């Protein structure tokens, strides 16, 4: 009996402790839920790095590395990684998406066919998260380095069965109701036309219009904003007067959008994809650098505004970028047969395309070329460039003399593009960069893409999810407002 009593006492005490703990946990859970419900996400910033597959993130980490340290430093992206997203489109388009279908999935939560802008496989309009945010009284905006009627921004702003209907898409930004308070990017060609001047129509609707970056420093606070800074897309970051133009535009847009009811903003680093298609590792790394500066700004913004969430992902990967390939290049200072050497990419101050246009029109010496590229060219490399320049004109002439049925390419070659291809090949060999395309314009690939989130509610986007899940979770965040 003496042994039984202590045992019963211990059991009773343990049960009491467990009950108390359950009550405390329940209270704590309730308090946490109340706190969460009392502080819903106010501002949602969706960032899409077009074409940025996993290899771009790794390449940028090496590009941004301090070569004087032993470690390869982490970038601003790394500490906010939460998972991966699948990117496949509707079955009718197979396993590999284009930007339109992917952006529609990210904007609406609905799979669709390649080329579709904000419509389902039956070509019926589907509501986007931006449209829902606008209905809820939030301010909305788009900031891109492409034209603002390109596939990704269009998929958030409008509905069209074909992404290449650029004029119709631009017209819909007025005709179907103005859905954003800020538009920043390129697009003069589509918004200032002989048949219609959409800029004037936006101004008549009360918008403040600017056509250069300097205008961003002096904006009226009480007006919506339209800023167009290029005929189509903006210049490469390497060639732009402002190499961090995405960051600059983002800062101005955020300031214009801040309000009591919150805002939804789409940001697209559009030209990571364009660099992948062009097999241009130099342009790609500087587009990634612009994105990194933008993400760093947003990281600090969330610290100061904890009711904001930032979601960064890609719509797909482009180009089959490979960090390392089998080439004749080597480095006696590195004891390895496996190399990726980004040194010359860090020093370049203009794109291969911009260089090619200058080299086409001028007879330049090897020293002049090296000065332009900001790295020293070997005599063999210079001879190859000069040889390719000399043969480019004859290739262009031959194309136009060849009957259409016998041409191997739909698009005519140009001298400067052939020179640019020659230089990019030199850069690829120097850096040991590989590409997966079988043509000069590499394709999209079907790999999963990374997801990064800054702010509360990041668990919603963690793990391996589908691109449609990102939109579905954003809709849920909007429901809580």
Radius of gyration in angstroms for the set of CA atoms belonging to the chain, rounded to a whole number: 26
Whole-structure pTM value: 0.90
**pLDDT cut 90: percent of the chain above it:** 83
Mean pLDDT of the chain: 92
Pairing of strands 449-454, 463-466: unpaired
pLDDT value of position 333: 78
pLDDT value of position 125: 98
Parts of the chain belonging to CATH 1.10.60.40: 322-434
pLDDT value of position 332: 76
Tokens 């309000």 label which residue?
259
Q: Which stretches of 197-244 are DSSP H helices? A: 198-204
Task: Read off the pLDDT of each residue in 39-54 and give the average, rounded to a whole number.
Answer: 96
**pLDDT cut 70: percent of the chain above it:** 90
Class of domain 41-320+443-479: alpha beta
Token pair, residue 99, equals 């930007």
Which of the four pLDDT bands, split at 50, 70 and 90, describes residue 32? Answer: very low
pLDDT of residue 61 exceeding 70: yes
pLDDT value of position 439: 63
Parts of the chain belonging to CATH 3.40.720.10: 41-320+443-479
Residue of 84, 90, 87, 85 lying closest to 102 (CA atoms): 87
Q: Which of the residues 55, 85, 93, 99 is marked catalytic?
A: 99
pLDDT value of position 414: 94
Look at 48-52, 158-162, 392-396 and tell me which has the smallest mean pLDDT.
Answer: 392-396
pLDDT value of position 23: 43
Task: Read off the pLDDT of each residue in 211-238 and give the average, rounded to a whole number.
Answer: 97
How far is residue 359 CA from its own chain's centroid? 30
* Phi and psi angles of residue 299, each rounded to the nearest 5 degrees, phi first: -60, -45
Longest distance between any two alpha carbons in the chain, whole Å: 110
Pairing of strands 81-86, 317-318: unpaired
Token pair, residue 261, equals 């009811």
Look at 8-12, 110-114, 443-447 and tell me which has the smallest mean pLDDT.
Answer: 8-12
172 is catalytic: no
Chain segment 73-124, per-residue pLDDT in tens: 999 999 999 999 999 999 999 999 999 999 999 999 999 999 999 999 999 9
CB contact burial 445-478 (16+ within 10 A = b; e otherwise): bbbbbbbbbbbbbbebbeeebbbbbbbebbbebb
Task: Read off the pLDDT of each residue in 15-27 and give the average, rounded to a whole number.
Answer: 46
Chain segment 389-399, per-residue pLDDT in tens: 999 988 999 99
Which of the four pLDDT bands, split at 50, 70 and 90, describes residue 39? Answer: confident
pLDDT of residue 26 exceeding 80: no
Chain segment 192-217, per-residue pLDDT in tens: 999 999 999 999 999 999 999 999 99
For the domain covering 322-434, report its CATH number.
1.10.60.40
3-state secondary structure of 152: helix
Three-class secondary structure assignment of 58-111: HHHHHHCCCCCCCCCCCCCCHHHEEEEEECCCCHHHCCCCCHHHHHHHHHHCCC
pLDDT of residue 335 exceeding 90: no
Chain segment 242-296, per-residue pLDDT in tens: 999 999 999 999 999 999 999 999 999 999 999 999 999 999 999 999 999 999 9
Residue of 155, 160, 159, 153 lying closest to 182 (CA atoms): 153
Q: How many CA atoms lie within 13 A of 309 on its CB side?
A: 19
Contacts of 11 (CB under 8 A, 6+ apart): none
pLDDT value of position 442: 78
Tokens 């090949």 label which residue?
425
pLDDT value of position 330: 64
Pairing of strands 81-86, 463-466: parallel
Residue 81 CA to residue 458 CA, distance in Å, equals 10
State how far the alpha carbon of 182 is from the alpha carbons of 285, 366, 447, in Å.
Answer: 27, 46, 33
Token pair, residue 119, equals 């419509």
Asked whether the beta carbons of 275 and 50 are under 8 A apart, the reply is no
pLDDT of residue 11 exceeding 50: no
pLDDT value of position 28: 38
pLDDT of residue 35 exceeding 60: no
Chain segment 355-414, per-residue pLDDT in tens: 999 999 999 999 999 999 999 999 999 999 999 999 998 899 999 999 988 888 888 899
E-state strands within 123-249: 139-147, 182-186, 208-210, 225-228
pLDDT value of position 1: 42
């Amino acid at each position: 009996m003496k042994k039984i009593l202590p045992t019963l006492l211990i059991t009773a005490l343990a049960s009491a402790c467990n009950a108390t703990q359950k009550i405390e946990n329940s209270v704590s859970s309730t308090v946490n839920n109340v706190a969460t419900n009392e502080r819903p996400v106010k501002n949602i910033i969706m960032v899409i790095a077009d074409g940025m597959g996993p290899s771009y993130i790794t390449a940028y980490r090496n590009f941004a590395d301090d070569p004087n340290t032993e470690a390869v430093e982490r970038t601003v992206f790394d500490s906010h990684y939460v998972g991966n997203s699948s990117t496949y489109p509707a079955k009718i388009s197979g396993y590999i998406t284009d930007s339109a279908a992917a952006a529609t999935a990210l904007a609406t939560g609905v799979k669709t066919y390649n080329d579709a802008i904000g419509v389902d496989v039956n070509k019926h309009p589907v509501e986007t998260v931006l449209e829902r945010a606008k209905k809820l009284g939030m301010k909305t905006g788009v900031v891109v380095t492409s034209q603002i009627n390109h596939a990704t921004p269009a998929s958030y702003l409008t509905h069209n069965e074909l992404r290449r209907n650029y004029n119709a898409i631009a017209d819909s930004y007025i005709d179907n109701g103005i859905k954003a308070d800020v538009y920043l990017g390129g697009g003069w060609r589509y918004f200032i036309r002989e048949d219609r001047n959409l800029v004037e129509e936006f101004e008549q609707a009360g918008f403040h219009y600017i056509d250069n970056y300097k205008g961003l420093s002096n904006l009226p606070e009480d007006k919506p904003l339209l800023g167009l800074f290029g005929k189509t897309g903006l210049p490469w970051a390497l060639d732009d007067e402002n190499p961090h133009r995405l960051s600059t535009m983002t800062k101005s847009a955020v300031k214009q959008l801040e309000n009591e009811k919150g805002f939804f903003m789409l940001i697209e680093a559009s030209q990571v994809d364009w660099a992948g298609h062009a097999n241009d590792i130099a342009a790609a790394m500087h587009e990634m650098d612009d994105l990194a500066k933008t993400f760093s700004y947003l990281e600090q913004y969330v610290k100061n505004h904890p009711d904001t969430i930032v979601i960064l992902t890609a719509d797909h990967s482009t180009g089959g970028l490979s960090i390392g390939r089998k080439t004749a290049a080597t480095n006696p200072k590195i004891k390895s047969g496996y190399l990726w050497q980004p040194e010359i990419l860090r020093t370049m101050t203009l794109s291969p395309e911009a260089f090619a246009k200058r080299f086409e029109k001028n007879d330049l010496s090897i020293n002049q070329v090296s000065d332009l590229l900001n790295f020293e060219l070997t005599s063999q490399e210079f001879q190859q460039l000069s040889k390719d320049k000399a043969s480019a004109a004859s290739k262009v002439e031959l194309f136009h003399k060849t009957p259409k049925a016998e041409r191997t390419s739909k698009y005519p070659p140009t001298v400067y593009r052939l020179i640019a291809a020659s230089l990019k090949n030199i850069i690829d060999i120097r850096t040991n960069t590989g590409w997966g395309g079988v043509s000069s314009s590499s394709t999209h690939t079907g790999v999963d893409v990374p997801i990064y989130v800054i702010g509360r509610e990041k668990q919603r986007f963690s793990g391996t999810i589908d691109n449609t899940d990102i939109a579905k979770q954003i809709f849920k965040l909007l429901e809580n407002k």
